[in-house]
Amino acid sequence: MSKKLLLKDAHIEGIRYFETYRKQGGYTAAEKALKMTPDEILEEVKASGLRGRGGAGFPTGMKWSFLAKPEGVPRHLVVNADESEPGTFKDRYLMEFLPHLLIEGMLISSYCLGSNVSYIYIRGEYSWIPDILEEAIEEAKAAGFLGKNILGTGFDCEIYVQRGGGAYICGEETALLESLEGKRGNPRLKPPFPAVKGLWERPTVVNNVESIAAIVPIIDITGAEYAKIGVGRSTGTKLISACGNINKPGVYEIDMTITVEEFIYSDEYCGGIKDGKRLKACIPGGSSVPIVPANLLLRTVNGEPRYMNYESLADGGFATGTMMGSGGFIVLDEDQCIVDHTMTLARFYNHESCGQCTPCREGTGWMYKILKKIEKGEGKMEDIDLLWDIQRKIEGNTICPLGDAAAWPVAAAIRHFRDEFEWHIKNPELSQTQNYGLANY
Ligand code: SF4
């Protein structure tokens, strides 16, 4: 059984409220942190090996150490709660059931970074959660854990919740900052990075909800102890939101030492494939990461078991591996049509493109149109090569990673399931009524 750090108290009735959270030891990590210096906290975070839980997996301690500290210029912590990646809903779970874990993590992080005004930017579709967060903020304030002169330390901290307007692109950190400033959520060219010029051109750290919540157990048990959990550079625990054709969709906390096979088939996690069907493929890190067929999902190219961690999932690179990404684990059974699935994703990225760069604005639309044609049985063999060519011309040629996120699913689908694309083209009469997965898999 995986060790639980974030969700250990999630089952306790009333844990959403300050009184219950406090009774379970809540805010003791904050009390401990406020007796430390900001540099000591930073060292603990670095020692923990925590990697950003939003998708990129960049070391959090290193990110914090890049924060510029010009004299007299305010700094900010912004929590990215714009969780819009298809298949990902673990931050929603944390905020809905354990809001004080996030607030406590923000207090410690704000103290470490020197942010007196911090923000939670939350996706507009999570319409009921801002009220939960604002209630928790008020409770923490009434108990002296937010506001002026927190616990007599002289440190002031306010936290504000900002609702997004429902655009996927605002999950990209610079688009989020633009939106938070009241502008259209267009990603900015980098450099300058937010650590130097972020919110209102002030030094800013933007971190994912789960990353900031993880600061609480890191301070609680120390960074060194946190680093002992997990394996290699995949330290600590990770929340996975599992969905698709499985028996037990939900949010699970794992310690990154379990195999993918165990995660899918064990009753402790996904409980196997629904209706006893066979596993066809999986997208283990949210819709932007490459899809992998069952054989390469459960075993690496060398025949080793694949594990639920950053390194093992990426083993083999883009040719045979995938990525941990945001932890949105989407399972596809033998009946799923890969062309249809890829087309749905292409439509999503086309719709969500902000339109600033030509390869993304035009390329995502072209990919969607070609995939739609193939799926309808109106495609030609050369369309597959055309799709491949377009995705290659998008990748690495755009302002923000949405372009890559749109290109990778198409590349991986063609790489691993080219025969299925060809089947649609060769069998136009069957393309709409049957799918290759059912007939041949
Ligand atoms: Fe906008 Fe797409 Fe360019 Fe990102 S890659 S800035 S979403 S057009």
The three-state DSSP-derived secondary structure of 163-174 is ECCCCHHHHCHH
Tell me if residue 129 falls in helix, strand or coil: helix
Helical H runs in 99-198?
A: 99-113, 129-142, 173-180
352 Cα: distance to centroid of ligand 1 (angstroms): 9
Task: Locate 441 and state its tokens.
Answer: 């898999």
Q: ipTM of the assembly? A: 0.99
Helical H runs in 189-334?
A: 209-213, 215-221, 223-228, 260-265, 294-298, 310-314, 317-320
Q: Whose CA is nearest to atom 4 of ligand 1?
A: 400
**Structure confidence at residue 437 (pLDDT):** 62
Q: Which of 405, 244, 226 is nearest to 328 (CA)?
A: 244
Query: Measured in whole angstroms, how far is the alpha carbon of residue 301 from the centre of its chain?
Result: 26
Task: Locate 280 and state its tokens.
Answer: 């066809």
Dihedral sign for Cα 418, 423, 424, 425, please. Answer: positive
Q: Which of 255, 317, 310, 257 is nearest to 284 (CA)?
A: 310
User: Edge-to-edge, what's the strand order for the sheet holding 279-283?
Assistant: 250-254, 238-244, 328-333, 279-283, 292-293
Helical H runs in 200-272?
A: 209-213, 215-221, 223-228, 260-265
**Structure confidence at residue 428 (pLDDT):** 81
Angle of the 338-352 helix axis to the 358-375 helix axis, nearest 10: 150
Query: Is 416:291 a contact under the CB 8 Å cutoff?
Result: yes
Task: Locate 87 and state its tokens.
Answer: 């298949």
193 Cα: distance to centroid of ligand 1 (angstroms): 17
Characterize the bridge pairing of strands 238-244 and 234-235. unpaired
- Residue with structure tokens 């906390």? 253
251 Cα: distance to centroid of ligand 1 (angstroms): 30
Best mutation site among 402, 404, 408 for ligand 1 pocket (most ligand atoms within 8 Å of CB):
402
Number of neighbours of residue 182 by Cβ within 10 angstroms:
7
- Total count of residues recorded for the chain: 441
**Structure confidence at residue 203 (pLDDT):** 98
Measure Cα distances from 54 to 115, 146, 206, 207, 335 in Å.
Answer: 21, 25, 10, 8, 30
Pocket around ligand 1 at a 6 A CB cut-off: 169, 187, 353-357, 360-361, 398-400, 402-403
**Structure confidence at residue 56 (pLDDT):** 85
Q: What ligand 1 atom has the least distance to the C-alpha of 361?
A: 8
From CA 48, how far away is CA 31, in angstroms rounded? 19
49 Cα: distance to centroid of ligand 1 (angstroms): 31
Q: What ligand 1 atom has the least distance to the C-alpha of 169?
A: 7
Q: Whose CA is nearest to atom 1 of ligand 1?
A: 354
pLDDT along the chain (441 residues), means of 10: 89 97 98 97 98 92 96 97 95 98 98 98 96 98 97 97 95 97 96 96 98 98 96 95 97 95 97 96 93 92 90 86 92 94 96 96 97 94 97 95 95 94 88 64 50
Query: Is 86:327 a contact under the CB 8 Å cutoff?
Result: no
Q: Whose CA is nearest to atom 3 of ligand 1?
A: 357
**Structure confidence at residue 55 (pLDDT):** 85
**Structure confidence at residue 3 (pLDDT):** 83
